[in-house]
Structure 1
């Protein structure tokens, strides 16, 4: 046993590479959509799997299977084993490069916490989850002109006789949720079947590496000229999770029936909308309930005169021409709704929040001037100094389909919502439902649960 951290003991640290002589040296230039994420936090996911067997069985069966299948997967998704290269002293764009011998860190660990408690939906101490997701390794200088930044890490943690978790951490410049989901679908397919034959036969899983996004080169110049990127050196670090004494995470599950009740309520009060998606109505409901719970606990409505709610929209299908579905990388643009807090905490706060969010999305995706009309203002819009809640995840990629061969996940947690987000994913019991992950102070979480429960009951009784 190597090291111990809180309730987690490291059993093995290893590095996984693609099979020898299968990748060689390859480079993937970053686009504006990738480079911008150098300024933001990594993405951290945690999957819970039932495994009612002792640690010895885990070591003998699960570890070899994961190592073998991961290596085979990296043969096709080489950037996950590569490094992000930044060239601070030149105008050259960053790139992800793989050379023979590159690898990613894979940690196997053991935890003595209550597996069933952690995988629940009820409020749980957020600090308990931190040791279950790996940190990205530190940046380092390859030469005076090149800084290397590791982009991916995996940790698998056994809870003897109960289950295990798979924690993933990726630098956001590596890829977005869509690409990461394609990687997981390939890895799970190879793990279930023992070979990559089925993966190779399915063109819908093959990553598309060509840089075909057409956008103004001025966007590259703008993002590369920002001081935080110009001054990147070996001291570069992505933000890390912070210990909090009063924060908890919980999951709100909205069934299809509840979502339909919410939609009916909105369309009755705001008939001009005509249609709202499950995603928009779920986000609007949570946005309103979070604002109400904050004001109820803090009693400081006036201090939050203006606030924002935003999400990242996948522009891939909206480009001309549209991107291939398996394009590797990022292609996201921000949508931000701004309002006065008073508008979303009153009796009609929920419909108002949905209308604001739906309008922001509609105006953003239907912009006649095109996707890049105000791209130079994206960062300014996202980083405004006002309370902002954003969305991580998407119901379009069903996290409960990540099955390595021992069954679907029992629970999914987006750990990186602790950087200021909620997570929105397809439900476990039904993909037509939603699971919304939250991270709030404990007293505010209690208020949120009470408020959301009462509002759902009232809407259901009316409908």
Structure 2
């Protein structure tokens, strides 16, 4: 069946008019993401017998009103990324009264139950459910203005709806994003911001991260002023593709037994965590099933609690340091789970125990661009399945932006916080091989 998408209504949702103009300068953590692809996330909510009338008269006004209220506390989401023509002036997120979030409400004929399964599904089906950020604007020769957040809500009549987000990565990392979504979900579910206010989880906007040298280095590497000299378009996924996406689950008992296996073979390895063994296992399966050689595994370490002194958990923006693991060709071809776990554990230990702090650990980003790699998006500590906007928790969540570079998404499971859920994007042939190796390997190892 050919996908059919009908736009029902489009809104420009702004914070309350009492919100004043304000701006937030970017740090080197944010600047790194300026030219990268945005984050696309889709949540599916099952609402049986959902009609167009209920969608238009209940869901739309509820989400619009609660989003407006939420934006008064998370003003950068309603603002724009401002890029200046010189490196002497750092980019910033700027909110000016009248700025808004584009919210599109649509209806489609795709199969809800198919999209919310774990089995392989065509990647391009999901692209109909994510919004674009909208056009950039060059304001004379003073600056370029780039939208940073947009929303699309799509009705699956008689089944439910999806809630799709596109976020410019320079705006927020996963920790900030989950804080924003938790606030919006709470305000939407209860019709008031009282519970959000009582939790005292306001975003922390103070730019306590002050490393001028690293800011300058990030601006140089990004060549940020080039955005003023050329037509810039935020990347957006489109089909058709020859890729499929599937979800794989690792239970707590499977993860525990993998940790035990690693500890038995590598008794001196200090860092044997759930993250270590699960990433090692997934990467070993990819190495055996994919034609291309995956030379690097890259993931971010949240630095909030690891700064000196630590900064609040609600710090707004990006605050992640890339950890880069390299494997030689022989290990990759063999797909050795133990060897990969050793590498990840050692790299994590090296970064987290660096004498100069986690920020001083070397991460040669220029080398990353020259090699084939797998990136990990998310963390076992993240649980997006708690996002109840008033219609129950999501039936399924998908991180669509892993399709850009063939990354891996990682998240706590809906059924249990102790289980882990992985999203994988591969060709059909590679996915079939990966699924077989993944399932057979767990049976052998446990």
How does the TM-score come out when normalised to structure 1? 0.92
2:395 aligned with 1:407: no
CA contact (8 A) 1:51 1:164 kept: yes
Q: Distance in 1 between matches of 2:189 and 2:360?
A: 45
Partner of 2:414 in structure 1? 428
Cα deviation, residue 398, structure 1: 0.8
Matching residue of 2:339: 352
* 1:291 counterpart SS class: helix
Unaligned runs of 5+ in 1: none
* Alpha-carbon RMSD: 1.6
Q: Is the 8 A contact 1:267 1:274 kept in 2?
A: no
Alignment of 1:127-206 (within 5 A): 127-203=124-200, 205-206=201-202
**CA offset digits 1:284-311 (Å, max 9, x no partner):** 10000001011xxx4xxxx73x700110
Assess if the C-alpha contact under 8 Å between 1:310 and 1:335 holds in 2.
yes
What's 2:241 paired with? 245
Q: Secondary structure at the match of 1:157?
A: strand
- Mapping for residues 37-48 of structure 1, pairs under 5 Å: 37-48=33-44
Say whether the 8 Å CA contact 2:83–2:225 is kept in structure 1.
Answer: no
Report the counterpart of residue 255 of structure 1 in structure 2.
251
Separation (CA, whole Å) in 1 of partners of 2:360 and 2:134:
36
Offset of residue 428 of structure 1: 1.0
Per-residue deviation, 1:123 = 0.4
- Distance in 2 of aligned mates of 1:418 and 1:71: 31
1:281 maps to: 277
Map 1:21-420 onto structure 2 (within 5 A).
Answer: 21=18, 23-52=19-48, 53-89=50-86, 91-203=88-200, 205-215=201-211, 217-226=212-221, 228-233=223-228, 235-273=231-269, 276-294=272-290, 298=291, 304=293, 307-346=295-334, 349-373=336-360, 378-383=364-369, 385-420=370-405
8 Å contact kept, 2:66–2:184: yes
Please list the CA deviations of residues 30-79 of structure 1 after superposition, one character each: whole Å capped at 9, or x if unmatched.
Answer: 11111111121101111011011222111121111100100000010000
Q: Normalising to structure 2: TM-score of the pair? A: 0.96
Task: Please give the alpha-carbon distance, in whole angstroms, between the structure 2 residues aligned to 1:107 and 1:167.
Answer: 10
Q: Match of 1:333, SS?
A: strand
> Does the CA contact (< 8 Å) of 2:38 and 2:168 recur in 1?
yes
SS for the counterpart of 2:358 is: coil
C-alpha separation in 2, matches of 1:372 and 1:406: 41
Separation (CA, whole Å) in 2 of partners of 1:279 and 1:337: 14
CA distance in 2, matches of 1:47, 1:310: 25
Pick closer, same or farther for the CA change 1:374–1:105 going to 2, 3 Å. Answer: same
Tell me if structure 1 keeps the 8 A contact 2:3–2:108.
no
Is the Cα–Cα contact under 8 Å of residues 422 and 438 in structure 1 kept in the other structure? yes
Cα distance in 2 between the residues matched to 1:126 and 1:338: 28
Q: CA deviation at 1:224?
A: 2.0
Distance in 2 (CA, whole Å) between partners of 1:370 and 1:70 is 38
- Name the SS of the counterpart of 1:392 in structure 2: strand
Q: For the residues of structure 1 that align with 2:367 and 2:346, how far apart are their CA atoms?
A: 16
Q: Distance in 1 between matches of 2:142 and 2:87?
A: 8
Aligned residues: 442
Do the aligned partners of residues 163 and 227 (structure 1) sit closer, same or farther apart at CA in structure 2, a change above 3 Å counting? Answer: closer
1:424: Cα distance to partner?
A: 0.5
Give, in angstroms, the shift of residue 369 of structure 1: 2.2
CA distance in 2, matches of 1:415, 1:227: 24
Farther-moved stretch of structure 1 (348-357 vs 332-341) = 348-357
What stretches of structure 2 of length at least 5 have no aligned partner? none
C-alpha separation in 2, matches of 1:225 and 1:342: 36
